């Protein structure tokens, strides 16, 4: 019996030791489990990556600091301008990512990051400059890359945000802004000191509907297509930027430019735009553009300096409409007239100068094949223009205010 009790006690003692050892082993496993829980408890992450380059050039910028808001960590771009940054993403989170480096204008962009996802955020940084010109350029209402802004031998190509920047010292400059299928914009500006930064935002003008473009740089060549004209009397003169032989001077007696009558009939929409300079008010109508018989109208300045359009429509109605304001003499002025079906609008330096809503939807009268259109006179050999004309543009659609503001750029100071 004693032996039996002793055996039982021995068994119980062994079991106690085993169970005690199992308890300790379970405690260590718990610590490991806590480590696992720590692993499971760490926040899920996503990745932001990209490249930082010099605006308009594409040259990598090494050593740029990449940071976020909300604040996470920061990294530097490598020698190729590349970076990778892990950020917490327990739920899809929007970060403001910023690229910065001394000597450059910092840039920021929002980006949403989700768990396990990698998203690109690229930057193009503009150099900080003490003086010069900078701005943003839109095309069709959106920032556009690839637009060339030239100032003499210096130039900048807009980045993906439409930004441009050119370092320049004090002086007066002429800028040219160009891109395929858009009107080339020109304007003059002055930098007064070595610490002045001129800011000029621009809107490109799409040339859709352009029939012909006559720069009148001492000739009647069509800069848009093949509708070259010929000179009959006018001589080369300086344009609004004082560039010699970049406009034409008309004597008001018998000078005109003859154009081929190969324009698409203007229908019931059109725009005629030009730069003009009146030496003095004309005694009678002074014609800027005569459309010929394939769309009967002509655009003129009258003896009061008011713009006018005389027209004849297909339904037999005809008339003359005039602007409210007068064109000043002795200076270059941008003038335009647009027709959008029943609406006729005059512009002086891109400002509304009268809208007429009484026209019908009828197209301009087609008088049959015409031998010519004219700049500076009517087809019957009267109403000769006296003064200078430059950059005549003819469109088959009605251009809007924004478009004409871009064409009317001149001296932004």
Q: Which of 320, 323, 314 is nearest to 345 (CA)?
A: 323
Is the sign of the CA dihedral 242, 243, 245, 248 positive or negative?
A: negative
DSSP label at residue 3 = H
> pTM here?
0.77
Strand partners, 197: 132
- Residue 116 has what pLDDT? 94
- Where are the domain boundaries for CATH 2.60.120.200 in the chain? 210-400
- Answer whether 212's CB lies under 8 Å from 225's CB: yes
- Residue 182 has what pLDDT? 95
Nearest-angstrom CA–CA distance, 385 and 280: 11
Q: Where are the beta strands (DSSP E) in 20-146?
A: 45-54, 65-69, 75-76, 82-88, 93-100, 104-105, 107-113, 118-120, 123-127, 132-139, 142-143
- Residue 13 has what pLDDT? 38
154's CB contacts (< 8 A; 6+ apart) are: 166, 167, 168
Kindly report the CATH class assigned to 210-400: mainly beta
Query: What's the half-sphere exposure (Cβ side, CA atoms, 13 Å) at 244?
Result: 0
- Residue 32 has what pLDDT? 35
Q: Does domain 130-203 have CATH number 2.60.40.10?
A: yes
- Where are the domain boundaries for CATH 2.60.40.10 in the chain? 130-203
- Residue 267 has what pLDDT? 78
Give the pLDDT of the chain (413 residues) as one tens digit per residue.
444 444 443 434 334 433 444 433 333 333 333 333 334 457 899 999 999 999 878 899 999 999 999 998 899 999 999 999 999 999 999 999 999 999 998 989 999 999 999 999 999 998 888 899 999 999 999 999 999 999 999 999 998 889 999 999 999 999 999 999 999 999 999 999 999 999 999 999 999 999 999 999 999 999 998 999 999 999 999 999 999 999 999 999 999 999 987 666 667 889 999 999 999 999 999 999 998 766 688 999 999 999 999 998 888 888 899 999 999 999 999 999 999 988 999 999 999 999 988 777 788 877 666 668 899 999 888 999 999 999 999 999 999 999 999 999 998 87
DSSP label at residue 263 = S
226's CB contacts (< 8 A; 6+ apart) are: none
Parallel, antiparallel or unpaired: strands 45-54 and 123-127: parallel
Element (H, E) at 176: strand 171-178
Q: Which of 136, 130, 172 is nearest to 151 (CA)?
A: 172
204's CB contacts (< 8 A; 6+ apart) are: 137, 138, 139, 140, 144, 147, 177, 179, 182, 183, 185, 406
- Residue 256 has what pLDDT? 97
- Where are the domain boundaries for CATH 2.60.40.1120 in the chain? 45-126
- Residue 23 has what pLDDT? 39
- Residue 370 has what pLDDT? 62
- Residue 369 has what pLDDT? 60
Strand partners, 311: 297, 319
In terms of CATH, what superfamily is 45-126?
Carboxypeptidase-like, regulatory domain (2.60.40.1120)
Q: Which two tokens stand for residue 142?
A: 């959106």
CB atoms within 10 A of CB 313: 18
Q: Which two tokens stand for residue 121?
A: 């955020």
Phi, psi of 40 (to 5 degrees): -70, -25
């Amino acid at each position: 019996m004693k032996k039996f009790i002793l055996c039982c006690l021995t068994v119980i003692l062994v079991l106690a030791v085993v169970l005690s050892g199992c308890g300790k082993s379970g405690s260590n496993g718990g610590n490991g489990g806590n480590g696992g829980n720590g692993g499971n408890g760490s926040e899920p992450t996503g990745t932001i990556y990209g490249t930082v380059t010099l605006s308009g050039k594409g040259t990598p910028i090494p050593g740029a600091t990449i940071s976020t808001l909300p604040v996470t960590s920061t990294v530097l771009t490598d020698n190729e301008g590349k970076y990778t940054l892990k950020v917490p993403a327990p739920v899809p989170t929007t970060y403001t990512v910023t690229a910065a480096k001394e000597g450059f204008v910092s840039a920021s962009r929002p980006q949403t990051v989700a768990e396990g996802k990698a998203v690109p955020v690229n930057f193009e940084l503009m150099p900080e400059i003490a003086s010069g010109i900078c701005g943003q350029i839109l095309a069709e209402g959106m920032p556009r890359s690839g637009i060339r802004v030239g100032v003499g031998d210096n130039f900048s190509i807009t980045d993906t945000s439409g930004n441009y920047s050119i370092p320049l010292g004090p002086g007066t400059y002429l800028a040219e802004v160009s891109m395929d299928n858009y009107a080339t914009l020109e304007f003059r500006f002055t930098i007064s000191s070595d610490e002045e930064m001129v800011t000029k935002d621009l809107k490109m003008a799409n040339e859709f509907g352009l029939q012909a473009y006559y720069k009148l740089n001492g000739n009647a060549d069509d800069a848009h297509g093949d509708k070259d004209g010929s000179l009959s009397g006018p001589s080369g003169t300086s344009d609004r930027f004082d560039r010699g032989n970049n406009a034409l001077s008309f004597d008001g007696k018998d000078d005109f430019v003859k154009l081929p009558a190969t324009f698409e009939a203007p229908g019931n929409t059109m725009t005629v735009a030009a730069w003009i300079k009146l030496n003095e008010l004309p005694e009678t109508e002074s014609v800027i553009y005569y459309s010929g018989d394939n769309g009967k109208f002509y655009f003129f300045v009258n003896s009061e300096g008011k713009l006018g359009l005389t027209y004849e429509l297909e339904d037999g109605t005809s008339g003359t409409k005039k602007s409210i304001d007068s064109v000043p003499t002795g200076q270059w002025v941008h003038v335009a007239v647009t027709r959008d079906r029943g609406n006729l609008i005059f512009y002086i330096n891109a400002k509304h100068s009268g809208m007429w809503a009484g026209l019908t939807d009828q197209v301009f009268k087609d008088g049959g094949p015409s031998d010519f259109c004219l700049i500076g006179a009517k087809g019957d050999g009267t109403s000769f223009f006296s003064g200078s004309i430059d950059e005549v543009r003819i469109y088959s659609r009605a251009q809007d205010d924004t478009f004409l503001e871009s064409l009317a750029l001149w001296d932004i100071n």
